[in-house]
Structure 1
Amino acid sequence: MSRTTCTSCNGPMAEEGSVEFGCPACGATIRRCYRCREQSVEYICPTCGLRGP
């Protein structure tokens, strides 16, 4: 069984408030844990390199 992790911090996605969405530029999956969302930690798309808050 594979474990899903946050794109920003590589932490687990088990928390309530975590989200998964498509990259606005290429559609690749971006996963954000609650802590990174609340603190506006930058994410970088693993496919196209798009940076976001």
Structure 2
Amino acid sequence: MKDVPEKCISCGVTLLGIGGVRFPCPSCGVIIARCNRCKKQSNIYTCRSCGFTGP
């Protein structure tokens, strides 16, 4: 199993408690973590493994 990120991929905030989300990259499957704020604001993220970009 791959390491699960503990920081938001968009802003770098540490994910603690409720509201953050972890999901597989739609392109390569690497786990991506996002904080509640970036998720709600649809901030752009880029997968560090394959370069996939999403809102």
**Would you say same fold, with TM above 0.5?**
yes
Give the percent of matched residue pairs that are identical in Structure 1 and Structure 2.
Answer: 45
Q: Deviations over 1:21-52 (max 9, x none)?
A: 00010001100000100111001001000000
Q: TM-score, normalised on structure 1?
A: 0.88
Over aligned residues, Cα RMSD in angstroms? 1.3
Matches within 5 A, 1:10-29: 10-29=12-31
CA distance in 1, matches of 2:50, 2:6: 20
Q: TM-score, normalised on structure 2?
A: 0.85
Contact 1:15-1:33 at 8 Å conserved across structures:
no
Name 1:36's counterpart in structure 2.
38
Contact 1:15-1:34 at 8 Å conserved across structures:
no
Aligned residues: 51
- Structure 1: which 5+ residue stretches go unaligned? none
Name 1:51's counterpart in structure 2.
53
User: Residue 23 of structure 2 aligns to a residue in which SS?
Assistant: strand
